[in-house]
């Protein structure tokens, strides 16, 4: 019995047998286990009122100050962990929920509801907390991720591409290609198995456009912006050499037009920092690098996150730079 202790204290104790602690899902507590461990519903209610507990899903709790609650993706992971214990046997985590479990980036895809797929012809439904899809599932399309059965990376990518906007899908599939979770061949096979399903034409377009050379969400979104602006497809991660020395590697390049472009996300400078280096030093080094790019006879165009939502001015500059 765990009586005499607070729910939060019990939830923080690693390996608390019979006290509602799930070792494979740290700090996720479930009502049945807590009740079996000696807690009353009134104690759980007091824990919520006292600000000790936060409800992830009905009957599933975490500490109210758990930082994962503030991040939509991490909160969705908690929601998946809670919901897979409630869905019908045979349900497989899929779509955006599977992408999140694989650690893939998702962009502007709703995360309020957990998505699962059941291998049956009917029964699809969209509830308040769970979306159940009905579709065939081949054995090779189901893999184990932690405690959950999840659609394979290629199947996940195609399902997401069938049901989400083009830009959102490209962000996720670019990352899956870059990390080696999928290949052109595995995506083609997943598309073939989905022939005739709703949204497959859109999925084919997204898969054909995806490129593992994009190294961030911002770069993937930039490629989509370039496409929509009618600009020619760039070479990705192009190395610039001048005077026998490597000047740098640029995000986008049109070598025959002597034009390069860079997406500047603020996090980029954080990644560039060496031990003891200040952000200002990294910014200065980046300016020197850009000066060297220009000195090698290149047009250099840059943009940032806000520019991606109003890309027309950047597109105009690029059109001018690329025009002979």
Ordered by where they begin, the domains of the chain are 7-70 (no CATH), 72-212 (no CATH), 218-322 (3.40.960.10)
> Distance from CA of residue 270 to its chain's centroid?
20
Buried b (16+ CB within 10 A) or exposed e, 216-240: bbbbbbbbbbbeeeebeebebebeb
Q: At what angle do helices 184-193 and 200-209 cross, to 10 degrees?
A: 170
pLDDT band at 269 (very low <50, low <70, confident <90, very high): very low
Contacts of 267 (CB under 8 A, 6+ apart): none
Apex CA 62: angle with CA 60 and CA 66, to 5°?
Answer: 150
The Cα 287–Cα 281 span in angstroms is 10
Percent helix, strand, coil in the chain (nearest 5)?
A: 45, 20, 35
Query: Nearest Cα to 8, choosing from 54, 71, 76?
Result: 54
Contact of 251 with 241, CB cutoff 8 Å? no
The Cα 281–Cα 246 span in angstroms is 20
pTM of the model: 0.84
pLDDT band at 55 (very low <50, low <70, confident <90, very high): confident
Query: Nearest Cα to 249, choosing from 238, 258, 259, 233?
Result: 238
Question: Which has the higher per-residue pLDDT, 46 or 103?
Answer: 103
The Cα 6–Cα 52 span in angstroms is 9
**Which pLDDT score is estimated for 280?**
54
**Which pLDDT score is estimated for 36?**
79
* Other Cβ atoms closer than 10 A to 161: 28
**Which pLDDT score is estimated for 5?**
44
Contacts of 225 (CB under 8 A, 6+ apart): 308, 311, 314, 315
The predicted model gives 75-94 an average pLDDT of 90
* Of the candidate ranges 9-13, 43-47, 147-151, 279-283, the one whose mean pLDDT is the lowest: 9-13
**Which pLDDT score is estimated for 266?**
55
Q: How many residues does the chain have?
A: 324
**Which pLDDT score is estimated for 204?**
98
Beta bridge partners of 240: 248
**pLDDT tens string 200-247:** 999 999 999 999 999 999 999 999 999 999 999 999 999 998 888 888
**Which pLDDT score is estimated for 285?**
61
The H or E element that residue 251 is part of is strand 245-254
Contact of 211 with 237, CB cutoff 8 Å? no
């Amino acid at each position: 019995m765990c009586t005499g202790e607070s729910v939060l204290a019990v939830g923080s104790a690693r390996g608390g047998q019979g006290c509602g602690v799930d070792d494979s899902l740290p700090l996720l507590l479930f009502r049945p286990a807590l009740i079996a461990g000696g807690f009353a519903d009134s104690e759980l209610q007091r824990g919520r009122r006292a600000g000790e507990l936060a409800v992830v899903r009905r009957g599933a709790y975490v500490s109210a100050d758990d930082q994962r609650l503030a991040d939509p993706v991490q909160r969705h992971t908690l929601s998946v962990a809670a919901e897979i214990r409630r869905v019908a046997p045979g349900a497989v985590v899929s779509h955006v929920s599977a992408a999140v479990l694989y650690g893939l980036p998702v962009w502007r895809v709703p995360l309020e509801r957990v998505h699962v797929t059941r291998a049956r012809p009917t029964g699809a439904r969209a509830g308040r907390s769970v979306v159940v899809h009905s579709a065939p599932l081949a054995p090779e399309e189901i893999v184990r991720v932690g405690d959950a059965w999840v659609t394979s990376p290629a199947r996940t990518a195609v399902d997401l591409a069938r049901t989400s906007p083009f830009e959102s899908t490209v962000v996720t599939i670019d990352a899956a290609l870059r990390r080696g979770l999928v290949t052109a061949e595995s995506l083609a096979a997943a598309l073939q198995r989905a022939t005739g399903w709703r949204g497959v034409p859109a999925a084919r377009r997204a898969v054909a456009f995806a490129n593992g050379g994009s190294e961030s969400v911002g770069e993937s979104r930039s490629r989509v912006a370039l496409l929509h602006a009618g600009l020619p497809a760039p070479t990705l991660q192009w190395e610039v050499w001048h005077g026998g020395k490597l000047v740098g590697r640029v995000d986008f390049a049109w070598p025959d037009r002597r034009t390069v472009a860079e997406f500047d996300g603020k996090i980029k400078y954080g990644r560039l920092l060496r031990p003891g280096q200040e952000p200002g030093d990294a910014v200065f080094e980046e300016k020197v690098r850009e000066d060297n790019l220009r000195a090698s006879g290149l047009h250099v165009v840059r943009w940032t996150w806000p520019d991606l939502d109003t890309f027309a001015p950047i597109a105009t500059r690029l059109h001018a730079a690329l025009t002979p």
